[in-house]
Amino acid sequence: MIIRPITPKDLDALMQIAVESGPGFTSLMPDRDALSRKIDHSVESFARTVTTPGDEHYLFVLEDSATGQIMGTTGIEAAAGLSRPLEHFRRNAVIHHEEDPRKRHVEESLTRCQHYTGCTEVCSLYLRPGFRRANAGKLLSRVRFLFMALHPERFADTVIAEMRGVSDHAGQSPFWDWLKHHVADLDFMSATQLACCGQSGFVERFIPATPLFTRQMTDAARAVIGQVHEDTRPARHMLEREGFRHRGLVDLLDGGPTLECARSDIASVRDTLLTRARLQKGNRSSWNIAGNTVGSAIVANAGCSGFRATVTEQVLPNPDANSLSVPEQLANELNLGGYSLACYLPLSQSREESRGRQQPCQKPVTEEIRYAH
């Protein structure tokens, strides 16, 4: 498995993924022309020289090394909400005051707001069902944070993830099924397409700025506020292990939660280490060198448009030489030359372990990032 930036030759596979993922996967809609523009924008974003995050969008694909098939996608929006507003519902507790204090009561409301403008957004994570195997999901999720650690100037201080809300196999959302009777009598797919293509004035025309009280909702709609689609639960759990938390903002159409975390507090950003590649013949068991076993790890070159990453157990950090021993064949797949910059992120080490145990060799990439360009 190799993660790399998307290219125009991946359009057919991306279109297939957009169809497979179904309604509600709003960052990849099944519109071939729109997907082609998204690919072009990503290619240009990777090629830019960036000192501060702007409208860049970085879309990666996971490729099966043996067959060349595209297994899935993952992406990063450098600064969301710049070209068009990023809007949510904020969950609020509303206190109703009465002359008799004993009669005061609290109820929940949803109020439309713009809150995360300019924040970095992780998005477009999808692993195709036929390719679901060990570490594939971890690679798609955590490689984005390794890339942020390598290129911090490209990303904002706060990172968010808009999670797919609850919908059924037919694409019906309990949240929208209630809301549409109060705002716009459109099916969920049509509303999603209008919102995602930036249809002028869609939100302002159809989603009220005045509070919506959850007591007025159906039980089914109220129950899914802040909940995620069943296929999204593993992604949410991974993000929560990274340090992401839900702060009360939900999607306007399906009620799915938005999670957030300071970039510097993301576990995989903190744990990504930068070193030098030391090419070795054969596999690790035959190397006559001292090193520290890291188990499974994401290993990558330190490039941008030429970025490559994979998951492997066949690397060995060398504390004394500040280097990472890598099999020659793997180094070739990752475009790693001898003693070129490389980085790695151990997958087996938990956030708590990484805090409590001193790293024996390389420093966090953020301390040496000046050498990565």
pLDDT digit string (tens) for 90-115?
998 877 666 666 666 778 899 999 88
What are the boundaries of each domain within the chain?
2-86+115-265, 272-365
Q: Is the pLDDT of residue 291 over 80?
A: no
Facing residues of 250 across strands? 89, 257
Residue 367 has pLDDT above 50, yes or no: no
- Percent of the chain having pLDDT more than 70? 85
Q: What is the pLDDT of residue 203?
A: 76
Average of per-residue pLDDT values in the chain: 85
Amino acid letter, 22: G
Q: What would the pLDDT profile of 1-28 be if each residue is shown by its tens digit?
A: 999 999 999 999 999 999 988 766 777 8
Question: Which three-class secondary structure state does DSSP give residue 153?
Answer: helix
Q: How far apart are CA 50 and CA 48, in angstroms?
A: 6
What's the mean pLDDT in 57-81? 95
Cβ–Cβ under 8 Å, residues 251 and 300: no
Give the tokens for residue 33. Answer: 């022309």
Of 283, 278, 366, the closest CA to residue 321 belongs to 278
Name residues whose C-beta falls within 8 Å of residue 112's C-beta, 6 or more positions apart in sequence.
Answer: 87, 88, 89, 90, 203, 207, 208, 209, 252
229 is catalytic: yes
Architecture per CATH, 272-365: Beta Barrel (2.40)
What band does 342 get if pLDDT is binned at 50, 70 and 90?
very high
> Which residues are bridge partners to 300 per DSSP?
309, 343
CA dist list (Å): 19 to 26, 37, 140, 303: 11, 17, 19, 31
Q: Report helix, strand or coil for 316.
A: strand
Q: Is the Cα torsion angle 317, 321, 327, 329 positive or negative in sign?
A: positive
- What the block records as the tokens of 260 is 């957030």
Residue 156 has which token pair? Answer: 């904002």
Give the whole-angstrom CA distance, residue 222 versus residue 215.
8
Report pLDDT for 338. 83
pLDDT of residue 369: 30
pLDDT digits (tens, 9 = 90+) for 232-276: 898 899 999 999 999 999 999 899 999 999 999 999 999 999 999
Q: Is the pLDDT of residue 153 over 80?
A: yes
DSSP 3-state of 124: strand
Domain at 2-86+115-265: CATH architecture: 3-Layer(aba) Sandwich (3.40)
How sure is the predictor about 339, in pLDDT bands with cuts at 50, 70 and 90? confident
Instruction: Give residue-wise pLDDT tens across range 32-66.
Output: 999 999 999 999 999 999 999 999 999 999 999 99
User: Which of 129-133, 330-334, 367-371 comes out lowest in average pLDDT?
Assistant: 367-371
Catalytic residue among 88, 151, 229, 246: 229
Closest CA to 145 of 130, 161, 133, 131: 161
| Alpha-carbon span 3 to 309, nearest angstrom | 5
